[in-house]
Amino acid sequence: MTDHIAWVALSVFIFFFALVTVMGFFAARWKSGPVSEHLDEWGLGGRQFGTWITWFLVGGDFYTAYTVIAVPALVYAVGAYGFFALPYTIIVYPFVFAVMPVLWKKAHANGYVTAADVVHGAYGSRSLELAVALTGLVATMPYIALQLIGMEVVIKAMGLTGELPIIAAFVILALYTYSSGLRAPALIAFVKDIMIYIVVLTAVVVVPSKLGGYGAVFSAANDAFTAKGGATGLTLKPAQYLPYATLALGSALAAFMYPHTLTGIFASKSADTIRKNAILLPAYTLLLGLIALLGYMAYAAGIKVTSPNDVVPMLFRTLFPEWFAGFAFAAIAIGALVPAAVMSIGAANLFTRNVWKSYVNPDISHAGEASVAKITSLVVKVGALAFILFLPTQYALDLQLLGGLWIVQTLPALVFGLFTVWFRAEALLLGWAVGIGWGTYTAWSNGLKPLASISLGDSSYTFYVGLGALLLNIVVAVIATVVVGLISPAKRGAAA
């Protein structure tokens, strides 16, 4: 991307990176509590985060650095189809408003830390608990790796090559997460989001003004998509309506099944905090729409890249002074630290509560749980770093695709158990296995693409594989519950 180091941009970048590093270590003393003596303190910040902290924390780990890089990259590559992230982040908040306060109340009343805790409490099944926990662990690892990819892209944009910069950033992230737990990303999220808002709002005003206005931006993008042909364009093709809608719905249902987003929910201090956030969080959707427009602006600016992931860094290097580019790159890199920290904490909580405590040391103390979780968070981050250092980037992208497909299969076990005790644990486990198996096979046989097609009569319908697998999962769970109930009517789950 560049053959020399952009020293001014790099200096600004290092200043802000150092600032949040200090904040990360200071966070252990913020909202004082015995961070190392209880998993609630290290892994959930003491369950005391109010509306604004939760807003920044959940928004910070939901709208990640990779979002800032990948969404404009997808819009740059395919046009309107890349905007599927907008309806998905609109659909998700009514779901959060209706479901997550119920989940919080159950978790708060019983001291649950993870989704798998809730599932075990509802059904009394160690097998179903383990399935939910392992799904969360496996789905989270490539998600963390994607954050490091986002950070790697902006570091390279400043002329730094090699693996040492990303390793150094990883070490800083690992140490302050180990030291401060969830308090660190919660505190840093304030800085990260303010910086991201400044960068994006500046870009959507300054960039069009330099390029002849939004009319010129859309005209340039339209010309580029017309020349490119295929399924690209400023508007969706009729054949894209169903895949677009199912991808948005499936992604929305998966979003709050991930351990990191649920960690923000469990860390809230009340159910009302979550309801208020379901009302306030759509402000991020507006921001996301503006971020997506950067993909169109790149055409008006004449940006040409070998990888769409380079679009945003090149746009800022081309149209802004070097100091502001450094500020934007720092915002994106810090935007990687917050979700990566929360993701590793969410995964560590799952391993500690639903693998270590359930199968290795059921009598572990509260301090012992915090200690195991801290060590696990380091291991998880090392695994994510290994993705970047030793495997092709495409592997992380492919596994992230499968991760979304897998994590949504935990929805019936987690969400249905909040409202009914009708389902049987054996049936939900079978539905989970069928959904995971069919979805993985279908995506794999289609060349690891998120969409599949089915022919009915003379018509063919294309849809999101994850949503199709979820429907199959639910159908199997319903039928199996009826069958198991007939075979063994007296045997019910723990919540019955």
10-residue mean pLDDT profile of the chain (496 residues): values are 76 88 74 76 88 86 78 90 87 93 95 96 95 94 82 84 79 83 86 87 89 91 90 89 92 92 93 93 87 91 87 90 92 85 93 95 93 92 81 73 92 94 95 96 88 85 94 97 87 48
- In terms of Cβ atoms closer than 10 Å to its own Cβ (0-12, 13-18, 19+), residue 116 is buried
- Alpha-carbon 242 to chain mean position: 24
Quote the CA–CA distance of 125 and 147 in Å, as a whole number.
34
- Element spanning 454, H or E: strand 451-456
- In terms of Cβ atoms closer than 10 Å to its own Cβ (0-12, 13-18, 19+), residue 486 is exposed
- In terms of Cβ atoms closer than 10 Å to its own Cβ (0-12, 13-18, 19+), residue 335 is buried
Quote the CA–CA distance of 326 and 333 in Å, as a whole number.
10
- In terms of Cβ atoms closer than 10 Å to its own Cβ (0-12, 13-18, 19+), residue 365 is exposed
- DSSP lists the bridge partners of residue 268 as 49
Kindly give the interhelix angle for 271-280 and 85-110, rounded to the nearest 10 degrees. 170
Structure tokens at 199: 């960068």
Q: What is the DSSP string of 209-255?
A: HHHT-HHHHHHHHHHHHHHH-TT-BSS--GGGHHHHHHHHHHHHHHH
Quote the CA–CA distance of 367 and 291 in Å, as a whole number.
42
CA distances from 8 to 21, 159, 381 (A): 20, 11, 30
Structure tokens at 469: 């697998």
Quote the CA–CA distance of 266 and 274 in Å, as a whole number.
10
- Element spanning 412, H or E: none
- Element spanning 80, H or E: none
pLDDT of residue 288: 87
Q: What are phi and psi of 461, to 5 degrees?
A: -120, 130
pLDDT of residue 425: 95
